[in-house]
Amino acid sequence: MKTWKCSYLGILLFCGSTLFIFPQATSQDQPEWYLLEKGRDAFRKGDFAETLTLLKRFQATHGEKPEAVFLTGQVYEAEGENRLAQKYYERALELSKQFYVLEDKYQVLYRLAHMYLAEKRYKEYESILLEILRDHPESRSERFEKFRNSLSKLVTTDGFNAALQLYRLRNDFATRANRELGIFYCRTRRSDKAILHLTLSQIGILSTLIEEVKFIDPGYQFKDLKELLTLAVSRPYLRGYLNESGGWEGFYFLASSLYLHGVMDQAKLIWDLTSQFAEGEMKARSQRQLQKPQPEPLIGF
């Protein structure tokens, strides 16, 4: 019998960071990664000139690597050179099969997407998020398409709580794309698509949360969303997970999408939970919506 168990969320966060910082490399590879890490450290400190100097040394010694190209793009974006940054991001994507951690490709795609959003290039923004979702293995299966159709109907008829009782999803690289697409569709008045993508995102986030609560209490069985959120906010690291994962933003816009779709009772339930348990802006906005509900400001093309 094992005498200890590791936290599911702790393992997820630890592995995500260690893969990025400590790649498994031979001793002769270490100078390559060391120089790149020095560049990242300089970037985090805001020393962009030093970052570019280190990246030039890196390329001269080790050739063109997507991690270094991506970091170069981040430097130019931070300096406001968006067009130049985009060129580096696009080049990093061309080299994406060489990423040490293959899923780092999605960091590049998300950076590009956010640049397009800031520039109000909405079609390109939507296109990149959809590209991320198309990369997900489940997206190409007929079974997943049927699941998506049934999920939307379930949420609009029986509510999000019923959907979470029936389904679990991985919180992976596609979760964020679903949330951002859902918010985008809510703000472009496409409530059916917004409900679908926000539900997918929220189930992914909360599936991880449920697994973590089960680690704390092996006998726990999910029954009610309010009970789950009460347990989560009572523990700082679970509350932090909900904040950092975009969970409250997802709930707020899911409620807004349900309101837009004409499902007012379900919208109020989620706004009420968000107003009780969330922090900051999403809490305040949910409270305002409960007092005087209205559609989100429209994004125009």
Q: Based on the domain organization, do 106 and 209 belong to the same domain?
A: no
pLDDT at 2: 37
Q: What is the pLDDT of residues 218-253, one digit of tens each?
A: 999 999 999 999 999 999 999 999 999 999 999 999
- On the question of pLDDT at 36 being above 70, the answer is yes
Would you put residue 25 in left (φ > 0), alpha (ψ -120 to 50) or beta? Answer: beta
Which residues does 185 contact at the CB level (< 8 Å), separation at least 6? 191, 193, 194, 197, 257
| Residue 192 and residue 161 share a domain | yes
Does residue 297 carry a pLDDT above 50? yes
Residue 300: inside a domain: no
Average pLDDT over residues 116-128: 95
pLDDT of residue 141: 73
Number of domains the chain contains: 2
Top-confidence residue, 127 or 34? 127
| Per-residue model confidence as pLDDT tens digits over 265-283 | 999 999 999 999 999 999 9
Is 35 within 8 Å of 12 (Cβ atoms)?
A: no
Cα 279 to Cα 282: distance, rounded to the nearest angstrom: 7
Instruction: Indicate the SS3 state at residue 297.
Output: coil
What is the per-residue pLDDT for 31? 63
For residue 181, being part of any structural domain is answered with yes
Q: Give the domain extent around 242.
A: 142-291
| Percent of the chain residues past pLDDT 90, beyond the cut | 80
60 and 192 share one domain: no
Most confident of the ranges 32-36, 117-121, 166-170, 285-289? 285-289
Residue 198 covered by a domain: yes
- Is 16 within a domain? no
Domain for residue 265, yes or no? yes
Query: What is this structure's pTM?
Result: 0.85
Residue 269 resides in a domain: yes
Same domain, 222 and 147: yes
In a domain, 223, yes or no: yes
| Residue 74's CATH number | 1.25.40.10
Residue 5 has pLDDT above 80, yes or no: no
> Are both 274 and 211 inside the same structural domain?
yes
Among 70, 88, 119, residue at a domain's last position: 119
Report residue 124's pLDDT band, with 50, 70 and 90 as the boundaries: very high
Q: What share of the chain is helix, strand, coil (3-state, %, to 5)?
A: 75, 0, 25
Cα angle 122, 108, 202; round to 5: 70
Is the pLDDT confidence value at 28 over 80? Answer: no
**Position 139 confidence tier, pLDDT thresholds 50, 70, 90:** confident
Same domain for 64 and 149?
A: no
Name the phi and psi angles at 122, rounded to 5: -65, -35
Q: What percent of the chain is modeled with pLDDT above 70?
A: 89
Q: Residue 301's pLDDT is what?
A: 56
Q: Which residue's entry shows tokens 């919208």?
A: 267
